[in-house]
Chains A and B, each alone.
Chain A
Amino acid sequence: MNFIRFVLVSCVALVLAACQTTGQVAQVRPDLRPGDTRIALMPMELQLYQLTAGGVREPKAEWTRDAEVHVRRAINVIQSEKQLQLVKFDPSTLPLERQKAMDQLVKLHSVVGGEVFLQARIPQRRPPTKQGRFDWSIGSEVRTVAEATGARYGLFIFMEDSYSSGGRVALGIAMALLGVGIQGGQQIGYASLVDLNTGQIAWFGTIARGTGDLRTEEAAEASVRSLFSSLPNG
Chain B
Amino acid sequence: MDFTRRHLLCGCAATALTGCVSQGGGGQIRAGYAPSLDSAEGGLWEIFNKAEADLKFSPLRMTDEELNRYVTDIACRLAGKHCTDMRVYLMRTPFFNATMAPNGMMQVWSGLLLRCQNEAQLAAVLGHEIGHYLKRHSLQRFEQMRDNSSVAAFLGIAIAAAGGGALANLPGLVAIANIFAFSREQEREADGVGLELMVNAGYEPVQAAEIWRGLIAERDAGLTLEERQDQKQQRDVFFASHPAPADRAQALALQAAAYPGGKRIVGEDRYLAQARAFRDTMMQDELRLHQYDRTLVIIERMKTANPGDADPFYYEGEVYRARNDGIDSGRAMNAYGRALELDETHGLSWRGIGILHRRAGKQEKAAAAFRQYLELVPDAEDRLMIQSYVGA
A contact set with B: CB distance below 8 Å: 49-50, 52, 56, 58-62, 65, 99-100, 102-104, 165, 167
Contact = CB atoms under 8 A, between A and B. Distances in A.
Nearest 8 CB-CB pairs, A to B?
A: A58-B152, A103-B57, A61-B43, A59-B156, A100-B57, A58-B153, A61-B47, A62-B43
B44 interface: yes
Given A58-B149, A58-B152, A103-B57, A65 B43 contact: yes
17 contacts: A49-B152, A58-B151, A58-B152, A58-B156, A59-B156, A59-B159, A61-B43, A61-B47, A62-B43, A65-B43, A65-B46, A99-B57, A100-B59, A103-B56, A104-B57, A104-B59, A167-B149
A61 B149 contact: no
B149 A52 contact: yes
Interface of B is mostly: helix
B155 interface: yes
Interface residues of B, number: 16
A90 to B, nearest CB: 13
A102 B43 CA distance: 26
Interface string B97-125: 00000000000000000000000000000
B103 to A, nearest CB: 12
A59 B152 contact: yes
Contacts of A50: 149, 152
A52 B156 CA distance: 14
Contacts of B47: 59, 61
Contacts of B56: 103
Contacts of A99: 57
A92 B368 CA distance: 54
Contacts of B46: 61, 65
Most buried by A among B43, B44, B59, B152: B152
B23 to A, nearest CB: 15
Contacts of A165: 149
Nearest to B47: A61
A61 B44 contact: yes
A104 B54 CA distance: 10
A49 B59 CA distance: 28
B153 A61 contact: no
Contacts of A52: 149, 153
A50 B156 CA distance: 12
Contacts of A59: 47, 152, 155-156, 159
B214 to A, nearest CB: 34
B158 to A, nearest CB: 10
Contacts of B155: 58-59, 61
Interface string B141-185: 000000001111101100100000000000000000000000000
A59 B149 CA distance: 11
Interface string B28-58: 0000000000000001101100000010110
A56 B46 CA distance: 22
A59 B44 CA distance: 12
Nearest to A50: B152
Nearest to B151: A58
Nearest to B58: A103
Interface string B272-311: 0000000000000000000000000000000000000000
Contacts of A102: 57
B102 to A, nearest CB: 12
Contacts of B149: 50, 52, 58, 165, 167
Given A56-B153, A60-B152, 6 more contacts: A52-B153, A58-B149, A58-B156, A61-B44, A61-B46, A61-B155
B234 to A, nearest CB: 26
Interface string B330-344: 000000000000000
Nearest to B63: A96
Nearest to B156: A59
A104 B159 CA distance: 19
Interface string B301-324: 000000000000000000000000
A100 B56 CA distance: 8
A165 B47 CA distance: 21
A49 B155 CA distance: 12
A61 B155 CA distance: 9
A26 B372 CA distance: 61
A203 B296 CA distance: 56
A194 to B, nearest CB: 20
